[in-house]
Amino acid sequence: MAPDVARYYYDRGSNHLDKNDLSWALADFNQAIRLDDGDARAYSARGAIRFAQGNFAAAARDFDQAQRLMPVNPGSSLWLLAVQVRLGEASVDKLAQAVDAARLDDCDKPFFTAEIERARRGDAVALFTHAIEVCTPDRLARTGALAEARRAR
């Protein structure tokens, strides 16, 4: 029963995240993890919030756990590298090489491209400006549907 309820918390957290309500989203992702500590998506989502909040050490732990739970997901390893770049533990060139090697969709790639640009230029605004220009809500919805379809395979 807990995994089903955990999924509801994950889904509600995702809806809070869509509304940019990070505190409620974080609370729901925390609860989802408490109920099902095997859900890589919840760790990734919580890691993304912690990344956005500048809590890079906690974000790194979440992305590391997500990667352990779902090693075939390139997103977690790229997020982890992005955190390591922010913490000075990895080079921006290593992140750039990993992004080039990964087969990212049109919505994920701009985030990492912008993060590389930010790291190289030190322009924090470039990160989200670039992603906003490329990722419309329709595209984000399609990306989520594609990711769900890939997981179902």
**How many helical (H) and strand (E) elements, i.e. helices and strands, does the chain have?**
9, 0
Select the more confidently predicted residue: 129 or 66. Answer: 66
**Residue 131: phi, psi to the nearest 5?**
-65, -40
Q: What is the pLDDT of residue 124?
A: 56
Q: What is the pLDDT of residue 141?
A: 52
Alpha-carbon distance of 46 to 17, in angstroms, equals 10
Delineate the domains of the chain, giving CATH numbers in brackets.
1-73 (1.25.40.10)
Judge whether residue 3 has pLDDT over 80: no
Select the more confidently predicted residue: 88 or 2. Answer: 88
Which pair of tokens denotes residue 144? Answer: 């989520």
Select the more confidently predicted residue: 126 or 67. Answer: 67
Contact status, residue 74 vs residue 103, Cβ threshold 8 Å? yes
Residue 111 to residues 22, 24, 78, 99, 133, Cα–Cα distance (Å): 18, 23, 10, 10, 10
| pLDDT, tens digit, 9 for 90 and up, residues 12-26 | 999 999 899 999 999
